[in-house]
Amino acid sequence: MMQFFHISSIIESNHLLDTELILNLMKTKINNFTKIGIFIAISGFSLSISSCSADTNTHHRAYITNQGEHTVSVIDTGTNKVIHTINVGKAPVGIAVASRLNRAYVSNVESQDISVIDTQNNTLVNRIRVNGAPVGLAISPDEKTLYAADWFNNRVIAIGTNSTHTVRELSIGDAPAGLVVSPNNRTLYITNRDSNDIAVIDTETFTIKQRIKVGKHPFGIALSKTGKLLASVNVQDDTISIINTESNVIENMKVGYHPYCAAFSADEKTLYVTNTQDDSVTVLDIANKNTLTTINVGSTPEGISIDDTNHRAYIANWGSNNVSVIDTKTNQLLTTIKTGEKSRAFGQFILSPTIGN
């Protein structure tokens, strides 16, 4: 019954999954009693990664998962227009982008796989089959490892992005969701929603180094550019836990109703937090520990990423099927971009241009 609850409430109270998924995942769980595994299924595609070449596009791009129509919308952040719509697996949720590999990875909860998009031509090239429910994704800064949080089996999976595709897995906590990797590639942080903690993983030994207790139902997670500040989004407490990763000091700050995801500004002075039940974004002043402003956005805002070069924050709105764009210099809403049904974009979804790799 507990596993059933995990899947039913994978998006808290907002987005219940269908009965077919629940039955499929329960069947998978039974099979996993005898053998828990992962296999990579390649649907007629080569899994080899082509060498990176110069990208003539100087604009950043936002890759937005649309859970309700099984697609990804690609937004050119220079024009704020959708330039491609890509069919992926069933019920896409998480996203992670790798600029040097020219890849975007998409977790599909209902089809239990990870879609791989070639970002040079925005086509689906591979899929990675997972026996479980991949939710959060993160790519290591060196782009050698893709991490996936398997919500159903309470584990994290590490998949090598090179030609050997080495797979490791680790049991971590109850209902793992958001993931982020330190700038030096050595530490992986994972929010465990039903354990109310963050698991700190040594990526070399793939073992748990520490557990950090945070607020109730941590889901989204964010790490500052230097890796000194870590933010846990505590859904049921309506708070953010900001952790100094050097001193382990924790500061809790109040935000809006039912917060979900967060993103730090490049200068690490502010934190942007989506509030799903307030239809807003809270902007926190980290040093002074107060709220700078609250910005009204679309309905049920979830995923958020910041284009630091152009000073823009992009917010995927699950309820209104669009993306809100905020000017991070003025903290004003600039525009709204129509995307697909039930836009989620859980993870880091802004792809920077690659110049002369």
Percentages (nearest 5) of helix, strand, coil residues in the chain = 5, 50, 45
**For residues 8 and 132, what is the distance between their CA atoms, to the nearest angstrom?**
14
357: confidence class by pLDDT, cuts 50, 70, 90: very low
Which DSSP symbol is given to 248? -
Nearest to 245 by CA among 261, 262, 264, 230: 230
**Does residue 324 contact residue 317 with C-beta atoms inside 8 Å?**
yes
Report which of 11, 104, 121 is spatially closest to residue 65, judged by C-alpha positions: 104
Confidence band (pLDDT; 50, 70, 90) for 59?
confident
Whether 294 contacts 281, CB under 8 Å: yes
Q: How confident is the model at residue 164 (pLDDT cuts 50, 70, 90)?
A: low
Query: Is residue 44 pLDDT above 90, yes or no?
Result: no
pLDDT in tens, 183-203: 999 999 999 999 999 999 999
> What local confidence, expressed as pLDDT, does residue 29 receive?
44
The set of residues, in sequence order, having a beta carbon less than 8 Å from that of 33 and lying 6+ positions away, is none
| Mean pLDDT of the region 314-343 | 98
Res. 73: pLDDT tops 80? yes
CB neighbours of residue 171 within 10 Å: 13
pLDDT of residue 131: 86
In terms of Cβ atoms closer than 10 Å to its own Cβ (0-12, 13-18, 19+), residue 141 is middle
Quick one: DSSP state of residue 130? B
Q: Could you read off the pLDDT of 331-355 as tens digits, one per residue?
A: 999 999 999 999 999 999 999 886 4
Question: Can you tell me the distance from the alpha carbon of 345 to that of 156, in angstroms, rounded to the nearest whole number?
Answer: 19
- pLDDT, mean over the chain: 86
Using DSSP's 3-state secondary structure scheme, residue 21 falls into helix
pLDDT band at residue 42, thresholds of 50, 70 and 90? very low
pLDDT at 159 over 60: yes
The residue to which tokens 């330039």 are assigned: 83
Hey, is 131 helix, strand or coil?
coil
In 10 A of CB 247, how many CB atoms? Answer: 8
Query: Hey, is 241 helix, strand or coil?
Result: strand
pLDDT at 45: 36
